[in-house]
């Protein structure tokens, strides 16, 4: 930009460049996704084979959507339940189980979709 421009135009152009850079950075920086959760890797390693990708179910029931108490999940994981075998601390630590519960919660929408009266008819 030429030095002969009045200072108010130089400031305006500089501000626009700075704003454009901030917008571009915000756009290209990924938001916190489920993949950023510490429970992603242990879920994929131990649970995904039966409960499916993203907890949607496969040969075992879906885990999403749902909100689970970490202590309840830990008890089910350690003791087994129904067709689910117990999983030892060699396969999943207690902290990994709690991280998986957080990961599954991140996949669950805040509010379930509400059925309209049109769908009920």
Q: pLDDT digits over 30-67, tens only? A: 444 556 789 999 999 999 999 999 899 989 999 998 78
**Distance in Å from the first CA to the final CA of the chain:** 65
Superfamily of domain 34-107: Cytochrome c-like domain (1.10.760.10)
Structural domain spans, the chain: 1-30, 34-107
Indicate whether 28 pLDDT > 50: no
Where does residue 55 fall: left (phi above 0), alpha (psi -120 to 50 degrees), or beta otherwise? left
The per-residue pLDDT for 104 is: 93
Q: pLDDT digits over 75-109, tens only? A: 999 999 999 999 999 999 999 999 999 999 998 87
């Amino acid at each position: 930009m030429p030095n002969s421009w009045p200072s108010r135009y130089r400031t305006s152009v500089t501000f626009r460049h700075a704003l454009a850079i901030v917008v571009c950075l915000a756009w290209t920086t990924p938001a916190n996704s489920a993949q950023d959760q510490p429970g992603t890797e242990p879920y994929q390693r131990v649970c995904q084979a039966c409960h499916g990708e993203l907890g949607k179910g496969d040969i075992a029931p879906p885990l999403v959507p749902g909100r689970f108490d970490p202590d309840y999940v830990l008890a089910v994981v350690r003791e087994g339940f129904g067709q689910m075998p117990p999983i030892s601390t060699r396969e999943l630590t207690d902290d990994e189980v709690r991280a998986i519960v957080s990961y599954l919660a991140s996949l669950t929408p805040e509010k379930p979709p509400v059925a309209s009266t049109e769908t009920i008819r």
